Every structure is written in structure tokens, then in C-alpha cells.
């Protein structure tokens, strides 16, 4: 076990309280046993722990490590040609209809091995860590049969014990698209997903189950049995809803006490009220809507009815070609009008809470997952865009591996 250590900075944003980010100017924290053991005024902590090693970062910002609560980070192959087609005017749903999209990634994943999926995922996680990310939710959903969904989940599982990489939260997303061998039979496919889920849950390969509920994906009726079974098995539910159309997923999310609802470009006020009533957070995925040339979700209405926001990258080879949560944060501010506080809480404490993680806040007893930024204030995280401004990134008090 490493020795206790004091880390001081010009400004520590704790993300602990409500809309107030809980900033401590000229603050310090004591890291012991991988946890935050004390946090507060720099001079006081230095005086109280005169013999402890001191790492000083004068003038710069410390925040909790960033938490990316929605990614499809385990994939193989490339859809760069589809991207070029889309930029030339082709439609995402039509590309999928013609056998591309998610099913194109399915073909690549089916050809890959667990080892190659694991290695590609590790490289992505290192790049994410270099951007300040210390926890990543990762979905399956490009296997679309039992063997290949498990392959993706096993690749995630193989990296969960690695303390030099971000913490991982695996999600089973069998209900992502219909594979060609299902020949259009969505209900039959859903029944098979439910059978795979039994074994996936028994083997501890997933903590959450997701389903893509939309006009060109699955209906509430098709998705419901799998998701209900997930809850019976003690797993959480996170749902893709309203990306292209509001087909009623919100009601189901409320019924199942989902941990999050994600996308929400298309959502009625009534549905949003039901979600707010059930205290389900809205995961904003602005890179996806930007890449798809869509209008943002009705953010003002969601805020008015009382929904809380999470911001995530949606990292995937199709709709959200990025690995960067800070880019998603910048877009959430610029394109969606989220405030700096909403963006930062949405990429830390609220994201962590939706994943059942203790991280995302800096307080006594929390894991010492944090970012030392090469920036002086949290409002600088959302601009400029596109380069890493991370000086140090620690998980449980230890530096993460970077590329
Ligand atoms: O969140 N909407 C469905 N799933 C992903 C896209 C996956 C893909 O295009 O490969 C999303 O945008
Ligand atoms: Fe997604």
C-alpha cells in the first residue's frame, strides 16, 4: 500500500453539493489507501500533516475524474466509408436499413477475437484516460448473438481488474439491432436475448441491460420482457429512447426505475414529467445529434419539468465518432445550452450516481479518482476544444496508463 500523500491545487471542485459545485480555492486533499482521507484548506491540511509527502499544483484546477456513462467502446472495424456517405447527404437510418450501421459493426465484431477486442478497448481506454476519464460504462450490442455479445462482455471483463485503466461498468445491449439471421422477427430475437441474459447475469458479465427503443429499432412491447427480467435478476436498466422518435420508452423506463434514459432528442412533455417524477436522469449525447445533423433535445423543457442531466460521449464507430467526453461536454454547453455546472456535474457526480459508483465526487471516503488540469477554472474545460488539458489523472490515488 502506498504512503499517504497530500495533493494541493489552486482550486478544487468537489462536485459534492446540489447545483453548487463546492469549490475550494487554495485547497488540498489527503490521499490514503486510495481514498480521499481529508479535504479542505491547503494551509490547514499542510499544518495538520507536516510529514506527509506533498504534491503541489499551484494555480490549477482539480476535479473528480470524469465519468463517461454511455459508450459503445468495444468495437472492431471502421465505418469511415459510411461517415463519408453521411457527410455527402446519406441518411443514418437508411444506411442501417441497407445492411450497414450497427449490423456493419456486428460483422466486424463477429470476425474479431476476444483478445483483439480487448486490445482495441484497452487502447481506447488509455486515450480516454488521457482526457481525464476515470470510469467508463461500456455496452455490448455489436455481437447480436449469444457468442458474440459474450465476446464483447468478456473483453470488457478482462480489463475490469486492471487498476491502471479507468473503472469499467459493463452493460448488455443485445437489443441494439436485429441481426440478418433473425429475418425480421423482432419478438423471436427478443426471446433469445432474454435467454442469453440468464447466462450473462449468472456469469456476472453485465451490471446493466440496455435496449434501443426507437422507430427503426425495437418497440416497448419487444424490449419489455428482457428489461423486466433484468430487474428480476437484480441488474439495472439504462435505455436508448427518443433518438429518432418518441415511441413510448419513457413510461417503461419509469416503470422499471431505469438508472438513466439516453438521447431524448424526441420526447413529449408528458413523458419527461413521468421521468422527472421517477427521478431518472437524462443522458445527453450531443456528439451523436451533431454527427446526425439533428436538432438538440428540448433541454429547456427537460430542465423545467425537473430532469437532471448527464453528459456522455456515446463513443461508437457510427453515430458518435469520438472517444472524448470533454468534447461531448463542450458540445453540451455550445449546442444544448447546458451551464458549466450542469456539464461538470453531468460528467462526474450525476454520471457516477447513475452507475452506482462511489466516484464522481471528492469528499472524505470517496475514491481518490481525480484530474489535475492544466487549467485554472472549471469554465475552461468546455473550451478550447480538441486538445487534452490534463496534467495528471489518478484512479484510487494512482496514475492511469495513457497512450
Ligand atoms: O447511441 N442509437 C443506437 N446506438 C448508438 C449508435 C450505434 C452505432 O451507430 O453503431 C447510439 O447512437
Ligand atoms: Fe448509444
The dihedral built from the CA positions of residue 132, 134, 137 and 140, taken in this order, carries a sign that is: positive
DSSP 3-state of 310: strand
pLDDT for the residue 114: 98
What is the CA(238)–ligand 1 centre distance, in A? 14
Per domain, the residue ranges of the chain are: 5-64+361-399, 66-354
What is the CA(154)–ligand 2 centre distance, in A? 19
Nearest CA to ligand 1 atom 1: 314
pLDDT for the residue 2: 80
Yes or no: say if 63 and 15 are a contact pair by the CB < 8 Å rule: yes
DSSP 3-state of 13: strand
What is the CA(379)–ligand 2 centre distance, in A? 27
Query: CA torsion, points 134, 122, 212, 224, in degrees to nearest 10?
Result: -80
What is the CA(319)–ligand 1 centre distance, in A? 5
pLDDT for the residue 1: 57
Q: How far apart are CA 220 and CA 213, in angstroms?
A: 7
DSSP for residue 51: T
DSSP for residue 347: T
Q: Which residues line ligand 1 (CB under 6 A)?
A: 72, 101-102, 105, 212, 240, 243, 288, 314, 316-320
Q: For a substitution probing ligand 1, which of 72, 106, 171 has the most ligand atoms within 8 Å of its CB?
A: 72
Q: For a substitution probing ligand 1, which of 316, 321, 322 has the most ligand atoms within 8 Å of its CB?
A: 316
Yes or no: say if 130 and 123 are a contact pair by the CB < 8 Å rule: no
What is the CA(180)–ligand 2 centre distance, in A? 21
Strand positions, DSSP E, 126-259: 133-139, 167-175, 208-213, 236-241
pLDDT in tens, the chain (403 residues): 589 999 999 999 999 866 579 999 999 999 999 999 999 999 999 999 999 999 999 999 999 999 999 999 999 999 999 999 999 999 999 999 889 999 999 999 999 999 999 999 999 999 999 999 999 999 999 999 999 999 999 999 999 999 999 999 999 999 999 999 999 999 999 999 999 999 999 999 999 999 999 999 999 999 999 999 999 999 999 999 999 999 999 999 999 999 999 999 999 999 999 999 999 999 999 999 999 999 999 999 999 999 999 999 999 999 999 999 999 999 999 999 999 999 999 999 999 999 999 999 999 999 999 999 999 999 999 999 989 999 999 999 999 999 9
Query: Of the ligands numbered here, which is closest to the C-alpha atom of 137?
Result: 2
* 22 CB neighbour count, 10 Å cutoff: 16
CATH fold of 66-354 reads TIM Barrel (3.20.20)
Q: How far apart are CA 401 and CA 403, in angstroms?
A: 7
**CATH number for region 5-64+361-399:** 2.30.40.10
Residue 292 alpha carbon, nearest atom of ligand 1:
12
What is the CA(75)–ligand 2 centre distance, in A? 13
- CB-hemisphere CA count at 13 Å for 233? 25
Amino acid at each position: 500500500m502506498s504512503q499517504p500523500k497530500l495533493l494541493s491545487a489552486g482550486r478544487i471542485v468537489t462536485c459534492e453539493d446540489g447545483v453548487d459545485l463546492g469549490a475550494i480555492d487554495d485547497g488540498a486533499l489527503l490521499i490514503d489507501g486510495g481514498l480521499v482521507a481529508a479535504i479542505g484548506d491547503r494551509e490547514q491540511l499542510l499544518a495538520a500533516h507536516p510529514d506527509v509527502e506533498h504534491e503541489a499544483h499551484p494555480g490549477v484546477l482539480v476535479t473528480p475524474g470524469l465519468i463517461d456513462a454511455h459508450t459503445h467502446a468495444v468495437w472492431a472495424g471502421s465505418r469511415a466509408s459510411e461517415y463519408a456517405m453521411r457527410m455527402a447527404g446519406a441518411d443514418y437510418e437508411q444506411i442501417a436499413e441497407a445492411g450497414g450501421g450497427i449490423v456493419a459493426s456486428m460483422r466486424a465484431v463477429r470476425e474479431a477475437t476476444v483478445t483483439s477486442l480487448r486490445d482495441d478497448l484497452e487502447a481506447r481506454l488509455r486515450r480516454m484516460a488521457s482526457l481525464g476519464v476515470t470510469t467508463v460504462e461500456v455496452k455490448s450490442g455489436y455481437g447480436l448473438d449469444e457468442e458474440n455479445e459474450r465476446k464483447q462482455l468478456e473483453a470488457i471483463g478482462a480489463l475490469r481488474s486492471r487498476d491502471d485503466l479507468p473503472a469499467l461498468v459493463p452493460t448488455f445491449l443485445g437489443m441494439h439491432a436485429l441481426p440478418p439471421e433473425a429475418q425480421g422477427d423482432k419478438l423471436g430475437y427478443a426471446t433469445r436475448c432474454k435467454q442469453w441474459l440468464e447466462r450473462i447475469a449468472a456469469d456476472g458479465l453485465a451490471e446493466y441491460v440496455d435496449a434501443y427503443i426507437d422507430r427503426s429499432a425495437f418497440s416497448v412491447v419487444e424490449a419489455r420482457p428482457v428489461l423486466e427480467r433484468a430487474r428480476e435478476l437484480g441488474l439495472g436498466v439504462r435505455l436508448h429512447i427518443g433518438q429518432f422518435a418518441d415511441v413510448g420508452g419513457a413510461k417503461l423506463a419509469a416503470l422499471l426505475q431505469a438508472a438513466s434514459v439516453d438521447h431524448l432528442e424526441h420526447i413529449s412533455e408528458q413523458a419527461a414529467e413521468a421521468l422527472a417524477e421517477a427521478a431518472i436522469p437524462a443522458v445527453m449525447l450531443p456528439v451523436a445529434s451533431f454527427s446526425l445533423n439533428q436538432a438538440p433535445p428540448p433541454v429547456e423543457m427537460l430542465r423545467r419539468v425537473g430532469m437532471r442531466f448527464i453528459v456522455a460521449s456515446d463513443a461508437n464507430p457510427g453515430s458518435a465518432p469520438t472517444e472524448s467526453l470533454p468534447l461531448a461536454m463542450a458540445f453540451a454547453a455550445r449546442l444544448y445550452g447546458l451551464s458549466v455546472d450542469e456539464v461538470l456535474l453531468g460528467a462526474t457526480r450525476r454520471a457516477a450516481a447513475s452507475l452506482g459508483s462511489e466516484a464522481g465526487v471528492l469528499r472524505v471516503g470517496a475514491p481518490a479518482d481525480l484530474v489535475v488540469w492544466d487549467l485554472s477554472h472549471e469554465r475552461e474545460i468546455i473550451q478550447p476544444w480538441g486538445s487534452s488539458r490534463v496534467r495528471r489523472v489518478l484512479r484510487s490515488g494512482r496514475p492511469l496508463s495513457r497512450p
